[in-house]
Every structure is written in structure tokens, then in C-alpha cells.
Structure 1
Amino acid sequence: MTLVKIDGMSTSSIKTSSEKASGSQCGDVQVVVTPWAGTTTRDYRSAYPNVNEAKLLRKIDLKVVPVISLLYLLAFLDRVNVSNAVLFDLKQDLHLTGDRLNIALVVFFIPYIAFEIPSNMLLKRFKPHIWLPSCMLVFGLITILQGFAQNFSGLIAARFFLGLAESGFFPGCCYMISMWYRREEAQKRFSLFYSSTTLAGAFGGLLASAIGKMDGIRGYHGWRWIFILEGILTAVGAALAYLVLPDFPEDADWLADDEKEYVKARLYEDVGHSRSHDPLTIKSALAVFKDVKIIFGPLMYLGILVPSYSCTYFAPTIIQTFGHSTITTQLLSVPPALCASITTMAVAVASDRGGAALRVPPPRGAVRARGYAMLFVAESGAAAASPIVLCWFETNLGNHHRRAVGVATQIGFGNIGGIIAAYSFLAKDSPRYVPGFSISLAFTALAILAACGYYFAIVAENRRRDRLAWQEDAGVVGTAATLSLEEKERLGDLNPEYRYYT
């Protein structure tokens, strides 16, 4: 079969953004129409002479990354502000004796993990600017209601529905970023976005220290005001998000038509056709799991999230064991989180070094200084590694289907780490928490092994595909030659002509 490219065409003569690239077959000749008017798959820039790529990227950066970063800061704040509330009589008021607090932390993750993939399927159906703010509004309202819990059962119910409402937010945001940027551009955007989680820790500590001073107003303890006011802040942010949150490139009404085509063309050159308008069904979602490489992403993220959640949930508690007052403890939780945010944008630090130093109990007189210093290292390492494993795995997945399912799987499975972390630092192990730090070290090792496994797997696959391509060039018919353009597009990164980013 002969492949013929249609080139030298004006943009008006090629298919529209809703139709995408397609192929038509006449006899033994297959006519291929690319999504842009260039003469080759790498000539899209000359096809759109009026589009300034640097200016377009800045436009996308200002519209996409800051908005979802701010929204996720509010979302993550609602998820972890329980760690701040604990210092303001939450445990005493709700009679959270024994491991009841740990149970409340775990309950959040049950629906959060279970509904990751269904939520990303709904994201494609309802569009990001509708689905994500809707989720945000719901979990903002639930956070407010959490402030009115009267007992352990009420807190459990609130945490469960909070996890359900939040299940689609983070994977949806990651999915969006991966559909706007080329692979070599995505990492710093992922890191900037993910740093909002560490900023949430810093902002949460500052906010909680201020809100905590409202203790006693209208008869409410400080922990109730933390949930109520931060929930209101999230709900207001959700209302504004309906107006400012962007959709996918194909649907961005703030881009000119030639800019939309340019964005699609540059992404096509990087990872192939997005096939964004293909319906994501249960059958197509399950088909993604036939690729054994899918397992490495979730394992990498699981290994990172155990130490990450351990720091997020228990840093204030650990700091308080040094003998500080409640307000001082909240304020001291801010610098490590800020350091982690800066480190996330600079370099991924091996988180096990911080965990190892924390695990070895120093002499009593040096506990405060060295223990507090090691929190900086542990939080920074865990925070810096997370966006790297997310971006590397997710941007290597081709087309909407594989990214939607792969992103949700990685994040959903990885968040089992939140359950493990919740039971790693128990009250009976205070103040040294040796079991908790040991568990964090073990899962850091798992993340390292999974990352190595993924690297060697994609390198081996790239080499295998290079050999097949060489055989085809030599006249030996290989797999790629037997596939139609439609089939290659549907395969995404499984397309024999695709190469993984290492």
C-alpha cells in the first residue's frame, strides 16, 4: 500500500479541528491528511507564519498553569487541613481516642481511589471548565459541613464524601497539563503546578495560626473555624473557576483558529493524534491495562506518596513533640513547606536521605534542631520527586484515552500511599516515630526500583521499535507497514512509530 501526503494546501482546505486528521483509502493508495498544511510532519511552523510560538506558549502558560495551580492549592488545603485542626482541640471535642484520627484520614482515600478513572471519563464528557469547578464547589461545601461535625461518626461521613468529591480534581488537572504541552516542555509546568501542594502546607500553617485565634467566637473552637472559613474560600474559588478555567486545546475559545491548529500540530508532531473526540468507554478504558508498562507509573507514585503524605499529615504533630505551643507549631510548619516548594522547582532530591536522618534518634539535647532540620530535607525530597514521576509517565502516554486512564490509574493507585501513611505514625510511637520513618524509607526504595524498571522498559521498547523500523527500511515488511493511519492513531504510544521520552 502506498502512502501519499497531501501538502501545499491552505488551512481552509484541510479538516477542521473537530474532524481531526484522518485518512481515506482509494484502491491501494492511502491518502493521509495531516492536521496542518505543511509538506512534512515537522513543517508545521512554516504552515502558520503568523503564529509566534514563544508568544503562544506564554499565553497558554498564563491561562492554564496559574489557574489550576491556585485551584489545586485550595483543594489540597481542604484535604490536609485536618492536620492543622488537630492542634486546636479537634481530638478532644470529637473524642478521637486511640487511632480514630488515623481512621478518619484513611476514610478519605477509599472513594478517592475508587473514583479516579470514572471521574476522568466524566471530565471528557462535561469539559474541564464544568466538571472541575463542580467538584471543587462540592468539596468546598463538604469542608464547611466538616466544621460542624459533632462526633467521630460525623467526621467520618464528612471525610468520606470529601474524598468522593475530590477524586476527580487532581487527575483531571494533570490530564489537562499533559494535553497542552510537548513532553520536553511539560516538566517545569508539572512542577509549578505540583508545588501548590507544598504551598498549601505553608499557607495552611499560616492561615490556621491566624484562624486559630478565633477560638471561642460564637462558641466554636478554632478547629471548626479552620474548616468553615477554608471551605468558604474553596467554594468562592470554584464559582470563579467556572469563568476562568480553560478546556482542552480543541475547545479553547480564547485562542484564534490558527493558534488552535498550531497547538494541535505541535502536539501531533510530538505524540501523534490526540483523538480527543473519540468516546471513552469502559471497554476502551480496560484495554489500556493490556500494556504491562502501565504498572510502573502507579508503583513509582505509590512509593513517593507514602513519605509525602507522612510529612503533610504529621509534620505539625512531630514539631509539637519538640515542646512548642500550638501557634508556634503552626508557624514552624511553614518554612519546611516553603523550602519544599522551592526545591520542587529546582531539582528532585532523593527523599530517602531525609527519612534516614529522621529515623536515627539524635541525642536528647539535639532533638529539636536536627529533627526540625531533617523535616526540610524530607518534605523537599518527597515534594520534588512527585511531579517528576507524574510528568514522565503521563506525558509518555499517547492520545486522550491512554492519558485519561493512565493518569487516573497512577494517581488512584498511588494514593493508597495516603492510607499507609495514615497508619504509619501512631500516637503510641511518639516522639521518635521509628516505625513511621522506616515505612517511608521502604516505600522510597520501591519508588526508586519502579523508576528504574520503567526506564529500562521504555528504553528496551524504543530499541525494539528502532530495529523494526530498520528492517522495514531494508525491505522487510514489519508491523507498522501493516497498520492503517486510523489504527496507528488509536494505538497512541503503542504505535510502532512512537518513541518514548526517556
Structure 2
Amino acid sequence: MSSSSVHDEKNIELVKDPEQSSSLESLSEIGESNIDPELKVEQLAEEMGINHRKLMWKIDVWVVPPFCLLYFLSFLDRVNISNANLYGLTADLNLVGNQYNTALAVFFVPYITFEVLANYCIKFVKPHIWLSTLVLLFGGISIGLGFVQNFAGLVACRFFIGVTEASTFPSIFYLLSTYYSKVESQRRFSLFFSCTALSGAASGAIAYKIHDLNMVHGLESWRWIFIIEGAITCGCAFLLFFLIADFPEEARFLTANERQFLKAKLEILSGTQSAFEIKNTLKDVAKCFKDWLIWLSAWCYFFLIIPSYGYAYFAATIINQMGYTAVSAQQHSVYPWVCAFGVINVVAFFSDRFQKRLPFFIGCSTMALIGLALVLGSPDAPKTRYAGCFLTASGLYSAMPLIVCWSSINMSSHIRKSVSTAWQIGFGNIGGIISIFIFLAKDSPRYVPGLSVCVGSVSLAIFTGIAYFYACYRFNNIKQTDAYKQEFNALSEREQILAGDKNPRFVYMY
């Protein structure tokens, strides 16, 4: 059976390139042999006249940087409110009680609600159109935040930023997972995710410089944070329209020969077909939620999100309360993010090098646990608390891309990748709401309740990560039993393709 052919005429569109008929016949012969998958790929590359290494460099250049820029802008416009708050947002808008926390929380309501729907829609609207339009919209709303006059205006803008950003994170992970195999993925995923660290650093650095614009044209410095960063985002949206990559089957920067090879390569290495051509239904979406792997990875990400957003939203405030001025706190908030950027990418390199996920996940989570413990347990030692910020940021923001990459690359077929990434990130971000309401002004400067919850949350993330590992290990063994293979082979051809990683030939990574 050719890996590029399709089997259900009612649901699957047959895709063929006459110029590649000989290559496809060769692929069929290779696919039925017992040759090592990596060797199969190299044989196919030679047969199709593809320089594999050169092609991967081409994909890296065209795919990863635009997504890095996109998420850099997204995270920047999401967390810059914490920098604005240091410059007087709460006082100027007359916020009282927990209204500031409410303004932070309202972002997550649409952000969580629309994750799965957004990933479903991206199959119908080309990614470069869909994502660049969303960037333009949330950049414009960010500019609007610079002109709000009261709590209602602040909440409305935060809500609509949540709506427009709902598709950015899960869609990017979804798209990335369609370009790279399991052993190629982590360093690309983490490079993209490390933009959160760069964005956090940039937010503090920009805010540090913007302080000089206070009352220029009658606008407070906190307003200029939103206006300038929003304007930069809108400008980049037009650039991203031309740069963002679509799915491999439609990628404009690849030749027809390269698209055919990449699709075949990923199918050989996974042992399954991509199912890109299948028109999915809501019933197909619902069926994905019966899988324990999707739920375990979502819970693991949820437990990491609580301390991660807690740090992103309140680190500048905590550093400020160590004795620094508001302006100096902006500057000092940059350095832990810069450190995290380096750690994220070093961990990803070695994770791919050794083709392991669990040991690195536990190591990074433990680093975060130690960092949070230092911040919590050293209220009278500012330097120790500040050192804890470095460990916390580096550990958390290295562990998160590990679990997201690990779970998304363990999904095969477009529908399972789409639902898994969207649900993991959507469900996980419920933790963002929790993080906002455990760091209350009345608990300043120690924030004992919030930091204690974060310590417990990271501990649960480690436990859930181990459970996810065990589930992958167990399912790998179950899929090799005769009973399972007979049950799988009894499915219709459409169901077998949509099942993706449930195919006995697919091996879960851990």
C-alpha cells in the first residue's frame, strides 16, 4: 500500500503527482521491507533526488523563525500588563480590591474556550492568512489598552486579546509537529518556546526604557508600553503574512518533489499516514477525548502553567519588593528570562541528542521546585530570592516545551495532533486563572499562599509526567499483542488512518 494513496473514496481525496509515480512505487517497495526506517528515508531521498540535510535546513529557516516571531509578539502583548502595573496602571484607573487580578483572569476565559475550535478552523483557512490576521487584531487591541480610562475598558480589551490569541500557541505546535519527526522535534519546539523567555526579557527591557516617555503627549508611561508594543505587533503582522508556513502538503516554499518526500518521510518514521486529506467531523474530534494520553498530558501542562503564569505576571512585583525601585525592578526582571532562554535550548539539544524526554522533564521541574522553595523560604534574603527567580524561570520554561513537544509528537494523524495540542494548552491554561488569584496584594511581599501552591503544583506535574511515561510504555507493549493487532485490523481503512498513533507500528517516545 503506497503511503501517499488514500483508501476511503467518500471521505478521502486521492492525491497523486504523475511526475513522482516511480518514486511512489519505490516507496511502496521500501515500506513493505524490513529495512530500518532511517535507512528507508535515505533510500527514498536518493530515489527522489532530495538532499535531506539541505531540505531540513530549508525547513528550519522557513518554518521556525516566523513562528518564533509570532509567539514572541503574542506573549509580549499578553504579559506586558505586569510591567504597566509597576508604572501606575492600577492607581490611574482607580482599580480596587482584586480588580487587577480580574483583568488578568478575563484573558483566559476566551483563550481556553476557543483553543480546540481554532485548531479545527485552521484546516479550512490557510495558516498564513489565519495567524497573521490574528496578530494584526491582538496588536490593535493592545494599542487600545493604552487609551482605556476605567476598569470596564481594561477588562474588555483583555477579553478580546484572549479571543484573538486563542489560536496562536496550539496552532503553532500543531503546525511544527507536521514538519518534524520525533527525534528532530524537541530543539525546534524549544527554540520556538524560548521566545517566551525572550519576550519576558524584552518586556522588562522595553518598560525600563519607556519610563522616560512619562507624560509625553499627556500619556503616562504605562500607556506607552501598550501603544509601542502594540504598534510593533501590527507592523510585524504584515510581514508574517508572507513568512508563515502552511501545512507541508501546501507549503509555498517547498517544491512538489520536496512536499512529496517530506510527507512520505514522516509516514515512514511514524509508521502511519498523516490523514491530511481526510475531511474531519465533530465526531472525529469527540473520539479523541477517549484517550488517556491526551488527558494526562493536559493535566501535566496544567500543573506547570500555575507557577509559570504566576512567575510571568508577578516576578517584576516580587523583585520590586526586594528593595529595588520600580524602574530598577524592570531591569532586574530581564536577567532571569535571559538565563531561561539559554537553559531551554541547551536542554532541548541534549533531549534530542539522547532521544529521551522524561529524565530532562524531571530535571527541569526539580530545578523549578528548588527555585520556588528559595523564593518562598528566604523572605529576609533578597539575593537568595533573586537567585530563586533564575532557577524558577529556567526550570519552568524548559519543562513546559518538553511536555508539549513530547505529547504532540506522540500523536499521529492530523486530527489527533490538532485536538491533542489544542486541548493540552486550552485545558492547561485554566491554571493561569488559578495563578492570578493566588498572588494577592494582601499577601505581599512574601506571597506565601501563592508560592506554596506553586511548589505543590510543580510536584504534581512531576508525578503526572511519570504517569504519562508509564502510559506510553504500557501502550507500546499492548499494541504489540495479537489481540490488539486483530482489533486494529478489523477497523475500516478510514478509521485506521485517523487512529494515527494507535497503529501498532507507531512507537510512543519517552
Q: TM-score, normalised by structure 1?
A: 0.90
- Residue 495 of structure 1 is matched in structure 2 by 503
CA distance in 2, matches of 1:40, 1:482: 25
1:357 aligns with 2:357: no
Q: How does 1:128-207 map to 2 (within 5 A)?
A: 128-207=127-206
Aligned-pair CA distance for 1:157: 0.5
Query: For residue 247 of structure 2, what is the amino acid of its counterpart?
Result: F
CA distance in 2, matches of 1:329, 1:338: 15
Deviation per residue, 1:289-334 (Å, 9 max, x gap): 1222211011010111111111100010001101211211110000
Aligned-pair CA distance for 1:371: 0.9
Distance 1:481 1:121, change over 3 A: closer
Larger radius of gyration: 1
Q: Pick the aligned partner of 2:429 from 402, 415, 421.
A: 415
CA distance in 2, matches of 1:59, 1:454: 33
- Residue 334 of structure 1 is matched in structure 2 by 334
Aligned-pair CA distance for 1:484: 5.1
- Please state whether the residue corresponding to 1:442 is helix, strand or coil: helix
Query: For residue 267 of structure 2, what is the amino acid of its counterpart?
Result: Y
- Residue 14 of structure 1 is matched in structure 2 by none
- Where in structure 2 are there 5+ consecutive unaligned residues? 6-11, 17-22, 32-36, 348-359
CA distance in 2, matches of 1:208, 1:86: 11
- Residue 40 of structure 1 is matched in structure 2 by 30
- Residue 478 of structure 2 is matched in structure 1 by 464
Query: For residue 219 of structure 2, what is the amino acid of its counterpart?
Result: Y
State whether residues 177 and 185 of structure 2, in contact with CA within 8 Å, keep that contact through their aligned partners in structure 1.
yes
State whether residues 197 and 340 of structure 2, in contact with CA within 8 Å, keep that contact through their aligned partners in structure 1.
yes
Aligned-pair CA distance for 1:496: 3.1
Distance 1:481 1:114, change over 3 A: closer
State whether residues 116 and 167 of structure 1, in contact with CA within 8 Å, keep that contact through their aligned partners in structure 2.
yes
- Give me the CA root mean square deviation: 2.1
Query: For residue 358 of structure 1, what is the amino acid of its counterpart?
Result: V
- Residue 399 of structure 1 is matched in structure 2 by 413
CA distance in 1, matches of 2:323, 2:468: 44
Aligned-pair CA distance for 1:46: 2.3
Aligned-pair CA distance for 1:492: 0.9
CA distance in 1, matches of 2:325, 2:188: 38
Query: For residue 477 of structure 2, what is the amino acid of its counterpart?
Result: R
- Please state whether the residue corresponding to 1:81 is helix, strand or coil: helix
- Please state whether the residue corresponding to 1:277 is helix, strand or coil: coil
Aligned-pair CA distance for 1:280: 3.1
State whether residues 397 and 492 of structure 1, in contact with CA within 8 Å, keep that contact through their aligned partners in structure 2.
yes
Query: For residue 385 of structure 1, what is the amino acid of its counterpart?
Result: A
1:79 aligns with 2:74: no
CA distance in 2, matches of 1:335, 1:459: 39
- Residue 19 of structure 2 is matched in structure 1 by none
Aligned-pair CA distance for 1:212: 2.0
Aligned-pair CA distance for 1:44: 4.2
CA distance in 2, matches of 1:35, 1:360: 65
Query: For residue 269 of structure 2, what is the amino acid of its counterpart?
Result: D
- Residue 222 of structure 2 is matched in structure 1 by 223
Distance 1:35 1:334, change over 3 A: farther
Deviation per residue, 1:245-295 (Å, 9 max, x gap): 110110012112221111101110123211112223322111111222211
- Residue 344 of structure 2 is matched in structure 1 by 344
Q: Pick the aligned partner of 1:19 from 14, 32, 36.
A: 14
1:290 aligns with 2:290: yes
Aligned-pair CA distance for 1:6: 6.5
Query: For residue 119 of structure 1, what is the amino acid of its counterpart?
Result: A
- Residue 424 of structure 1 is matched in structure 2 by 438
State whether residues 371 and 387 of structure 2, in contact with CA within 8 Å, keep that contact through their aligned partners in structure 1.
no
Query: For residue 303 of structure 1, what is the amino acid of its counterpart?
Result: F
CA distance in 1, matches of 2:70, 2:505: 37
Deviation per residue, 1:364-407 (Å, 9 max, x gap): 3xx22111111001111100100000000011111110111111
Distance 1:262 1:219, change over 3 A: same
- Residue 304 of structure 1 is matched in structure 2 by 304
CA distance in 1, matches of 2:2, 2:240: 41
Q: Which stretches of structure 1, 4 residues or more, deviate above 4 A after TM superposition?
A: 33-36
- Residue 29 of structure 1 is matched in structure 2 by none
Query: For residue 47 of structure 1, what is the amino acid of its counterpart?
Result: L
- Please state whether the residue corresponding to 2:328 is helix, strand or coil: helix
Distance 1:178 1:421, change over 3 A: same
CA distance in 1, matches of 2:277, 2:2: 23
State whether residues 45 and 52 of structure 2, in contact with CA within 8 Å, keep that contact through their aligned partners in structure 1.
no
1:383 aligns with 2:397: yes
- Please state whether the residue corresponding to 1:64 is helix, strand or coil: helix
CA distance in 1, matches of 2:124, 2:489: 34
Percent sequence identity over matched residues? 40
CA distance in 2, matches of 1:460, 1:214: 59
Aligned-pair CA distance for 1:36: 6.4
Moved more, 482-491 or 88-97: 482-491
Query: For residue 359 of structure 1, what is the amino acid of its counterpart?
Result: L
- Residue 213 of structure 2 is matched in structure 1 by 214
- Where in structure 1 are there 5+ consecutive unaligned residues? 12-16, 22-32
CA distance in 1, matches of 2:81, 2:2: 59
Aligned-pair CA distance for 1:97: 2.0
CA distance in 2, matches of 1:75, 1:294: 25
- Please state whether the residue corresponding to 1:200 is helix, strand or coil: helix
Distance 1:20 1:270, change over 3 A: farther
- Please state whether the residue corresponding to 1:226 is helix, strand or coil: helix
- Please state whether the residue corresponding to 1:439 is helix, strand or coil: helix
Query: For residue 490 of structure 1, what is the amino acid of its counterpart?
Result: L
- Residue 25 of structure 1 is matched in structure 2 by none
